[in-house]
Homo-oligomer: A and B are copies of this chain.
Amino acid sequence: MEDVQNTPAEVAMPIDSVGVRNLSLPISVSRREGGAQSTVALVELGVDLPAHFKGTHMSRFIEVLERRQEDLSYKTVRGLLENILERLDARKARVTFEFIFFMPRPSPVSKSTALQSYRCKITGELSRAGENRLDFILEVIVPVMTVCPCSKAISSEGAHSQRTEIRLTLYLKNFCWLEEFIEIAETSGSSPVYPLLKRDDEKFVTEQAFANPCFVEDVVRNIAEKLENHQHISRFTAEVESFESIHAHNAFARIER
């Protein structure tokens, strides 16, 4: 049967990335405290294509993904990409996994525990050039609460507060646990948010948040200060977006280093 993909391209131009996306897969992710967690990932997988080939062989991406068995980690992402480079005879391969990660969060007073969910994304990029260096990028979105310092200072009572999202993009030099960055983010707003709060917890969270008002500008600086001297991070973007309770629009602040 004819292999149209292997015929010459009409326009002989190299392609940066060609592949598949919008694939859902059950995966497991290693946890800091041991073991692994079952979740579902949305996957994208691509390679470069030299100028002289008309097309890549898309079904091979699916075959490689289908055969992987291991927990998602720095090491297994490298293994997957090495497989892809070989199977597709490519010089560069890139994979992203978007998934929900769960951590048990005890409430601050009654210690009632429930799972909190975090949207995460792991990207690996492996190139044959440069001694097979793996670029490994971790992204995580962490919800917190912010109380507005301006509203608090000028009002005779109260201050508006809102849910705020912290979005981190971290270029790692070495393996780090997701859990570490979630904890850094959760302690950078007016208060963490919790899945389960009893009445005494709610009192504590409200008072703690009001004792620690912060703008999106404060939150993003709090995080950037903690990240900029982190020994395993080569580059990062920290973005904070608050769903202002007094407006229908959002406020944001972003630091890139």
Which A residues lie at the B interface, using CB under 8 A? 1-5, 9-11, 13, 15-26, 37-40, 44, 46, 49, 54-56, 58-59, 62-63, 65-66, 100, 102, 112-117, 143, 145-147, 149-163, 191, 193-200, 202-203, 205-207, 209-211, 215-218, 220-222, 224-225, 241, 243-256
**Which of B5, B197, B225 meets A11, CB within 8 Å?**
B225
Query: With the chains together, A40 CA to B19 CA distance in Å?
Result: 26
Query: With the chains together, A195 CA to B60 CA distance in Å?
Result: 11
> Chain A interface secondary structure, helix, strand, loop or mixed?
mixed
Contacts of A54 in B (CB 8 A): 149, 215, 217-218
* CB of A213, distance to nearest CB on chain B (Å): 9
Query: With the chains together, A66 CA to B104 CA distance in Å?
Result: 10
Known: A162-B163, A162-B245, A247-B194. A221 touches B254 (CB 8 A): no
Query: With the chains together, A203 CA to B191 CA distance in Å?
Result: 22
Closest 3 CB pairs of A and B: A158-B210, A38-B38, A24-B117
Q: Evaluate contact between A15 and B220: CB separation under 8 angstroms.
A: yes
Contacts of A154 in B (CB 8 A): 1-2, 4, 199, 202-203, 206
Extra 12 A-B pairs, beta carbons < 8 Å, given A62-B114, A243-B243: A10-B221, A15-B220, A18-B216, A18-B253, A23-B195, A46-B254, A66-B196, A147-B158, A154-B206, A155-B203, A160-B202, A206-B246
